Structure 1
Amino acid sequence: MKKIMIIAASAAVLLSSCVSQKKYADLEAQQQETQDRLNTATVKLNSCLEEKAGATAKANALEDQVADLRRTNADLIETKGNLTTLTTKGATNLEKSLESLKEKDLQIKTLRDAVTRKDSVTLALVTSLKGALGNMADEDIEINVEKGVVYVSISDKLLFKSGSYNVTSRAKEVLGKVATVVNAKPDIEFMVEGHTDNVPIKNAVLEDNWDLSAKRATSVVRILQDEYGVPPQRMTAAGRSYYIPVASNDTAEGRAKNRRTRIVVLPKLDQFYSMVKEGMDEASKK
């Protein structure tokens, strides 16, 4: 009996030992499966975390872009407003500039017309003088125009004797022809200039070359006034001495050219401005 019990106990122990080993294997298998699932979940979690980080970064970048776009849009709206203002001002300024150009064009045209009319008067005067003095020798009388001013240069040998300021009889004939032209054009004024060479002169009557040139000019003016009726208020007498030569004083020929009397037709600026004003008034009526 005792043996039977020992055998039964041993069998029970053996049977109990066999059941625990199987369960252990099952538990171990479940544990491995659980561990695998945990590993898989961990991998997925890490992947999700990475995706979330990437998505967050993209979201932040997009928010920054949206903010930039909003600022850009605001700047564009402001710029558009400024451009509109500038365009309006530009149009106004352009209109003013065009109007100013029109006025300047009108002024230029008016000045050109006035100059043309003045040139016409000058040409008519030159033509009259050349017609009146046409039979005189070229070396004795020269008529030219410089910068719109008419000059009549009469040589010393035609007007005066050497060192004298008394007008010769032959010279009076020339001055008479000049007076005829001058008297026919009462709107012109002129200056008579006396010029000498650089040879010094001094005697009981003449102090120096200044004195000689001035006295020769006043002698011509007196002839034109007293003998040919030229109004004195239209004439000016001036002595220039030897300081404005037309040739070298180193030769006899040059000194002869420098000894001369010159009649300068003075430009009447008031008449010229009157022409300009008339032109402006006529243009403003159009």
Structure 2
Amino acid sequence: MKLQLTIPALFIAAVMVSSCVSSKKYKDLQASYDKLDSNTREMRGKYLLTERNFAVANGRITSLEEQLNSERANAKQLQDALSKCLNSSSQGNVNISKLVDEINASNKYIQQLVNAKNKSDSLNMVLTNNLTRSLSQQEMKDVDVKVLKGVVYISLADNMLYKSGSYEVNDQAGQTLSKIAKIIKDYSNYDVLIEGNTDNVPISQKNIRNNWDLSALRASSVVQVLQNNYQVDPKRLTAGGRGEYNPIADNSTPSGKAQNRRTQIIITPKLDQFMDLINKAPEKDAQK
């Protein structure tokens, strides 16, 4: 009789222990997911801020070029006016001295703008050449380096950086990232945006809701490798994901999907360097 009572009791105890363990695992998984979700939201916020800053930078560069063209046209008008003054005695009342001063000031400002643009273009070209020379032929198959509108884009294929569907950087990518990190550290006056991109195939993994999450997590992984393994200043780094919404090829083909699965390292001059020049435009009060 005692044996019959003991067996059900043991069974009930085993069920209760099993239930407690499952509940604890569930709570741990839920806490990990909540933390991951919070980190992803924070990264998205930082990325949106960087996107806005990047758009502002492009606008300011365009403004710089427009001012350059405007000043050139103004200098030509002043030169024409001076020539008319010198060739016509009827305009003897024009203050030639002030006109010459305006021409000289305008030409000086034009030269400042030209020098700034040439310096930026030259630095970007040197940066690109240094990087491509440091990469092996095998690495160059998975790395694409371009300069567009004064910004350096380094595009890395996902199969070089991660396992399929994963956001953890693999060991084989370390050598390539170490070379890129050295270039980034050599050009300390540049900011760096790490941008994750995916194809349009939905992701199906625990704790990764969609391609937005995957792209942001991949960018964050590269940022942390650059910071922790290669000592790049984290204040210069921003991580962001664009999911499947920034394709560079057609997702209807395997080749197009492969091109769209990429992580871009975007290196751009700091905005205050351009603002300093724009704010130093020559004063136009000389004729007053």
Superposition TM-score, scaled by structure 2 size: 0.61
Residue 186 of structure 1 corresponds to which residue in structure 2? 188
Alpha-carbon separation, structure 2, partners of 1:109 and 1:164: 50
Question: Are residues 279 and 127 of structure 1, via their aligned partners in 2, closer, same or farther at CA, if it must alter by over 3 Å?
Answer: farther
Cα displacement (A) at 1:185: 2.5
Q: Is the 8 A contact 2:158 2:263 kept in 1?
A: yes
Asked if 1:198 is matched to 2:200, the reply is yes
Q: Write the mapping of 1:143-154 to structure 2, written as runs, cut at 5 A.
A: 143-154=145-156
% same residue: 39
Q: What does 1:29-108 correspond to in 2, within 5 Å?
A: 91-92=94-95, 99-108=101-110
Is the 1:132–1:181 contact (alpha carbons within 8 Å) kept by the matching residues of 2? no
How much has 1:95 moved relative to structure 2?
Answer: 6.7
Which of residues 226, 241, 244 in structure 1 aligns to 2:228? 226
Specify the alignment match of 2:265 in structure 1.
263
- Larger relative CO (CA 8 A, sep 6+): 1 or 2? 2
How many residues are matched? 193
CA 1:104/1:279 → structure 2, altered by over 3 Å: closer, same or farther? closer
Aligned to 1:129: 131
Shift of 1:275: 6.5
Shift of 1:272: 3.8
Taking the aligned partners of 2:277 and 2:133, their CA distance within structure 1 comes to 27
The SS at the match of 1:197 is coil
Superposition deviation, residue 186 in structure 1: 2.2
Distance, in Å, in 2 between the alignment partners of 1:183 and 1:120 is: 18
| Structure 2 residue matching 1:213: 3-state secondary structure | helix
Residues 139 and 176, structure 2, Cα contact 8 Å, conserved in 1: no
The aligned amino acid for 1:192 is I
**By how many angstroms is 1:97 displaced?**
5.8
Q: Could you say which residue in structure 2 is the equivalent of 1:249?
A: 251
Q: Secondary structure in 2 aligned to 1:224?
A: helix
The 8 Å contact of residues 118 and 272 in structure 1, kept in 2 or not, is answered as no
Is the 8 Å Cα contact of residues 203 and 210 (structure 2) preserved in structure 1? yes
Task: Give the whole-Å Cα distance in 1 for the aligned partners of 2:98 and 2:146.
Answer: 45
TM-score (structure 1 length as normaliser): 0.61
Q: 2:115 aligns to what?
A: 113
CA distance in 2, matches of 1:265, 1:233: 14
**Cα distance in 2 between the residues matched to 1:197 and 1:162:** 12
Shift of 1:125: 0.8
Deviation string 1:243-285 (CA, Å, 9 cap, x unpaired) is 11110111110000000000000221223445678998xxxxx
Please give the secondary structure, in 2, of the residue aligned with 1:261.
strand
Counterpart Cα distance in 1 of 2:239 and 2:188: 18
Unaligned runs of 5+ in 1: 1-85, 281-286
CA distance in 1, matches of 2:141, 2:245: 21
Following TM superposition, by how much is the alpha carbon of 1:110 offset from its aligned partner in structure 2, in angstroms? 1.0
Shift of 1:88: 7.4
Tell me the distance in 2 between the aligned counterparts of 1:136 and 1:279: 48
SS in 2 for 1:220: helix
One-letter identity of the residue aligned with 2:233: P
Instruction: Read off the aligned partner of 1:209 and give its amino acid letter.
Output: N
Distance 1:246 1:204 in 2: 28
Secondary structure at 1:136's aligned position in 2?
helix
Of residues 168, 171, 174 in structure 2, which corresponds to 1:169?
171
SS in 1 for 2:266: strand
Aligned residues: CA RMSD = 2.5
Q: Which amino acid aligns with 2:202?
A: P
SS in 1 for 2:138: coil
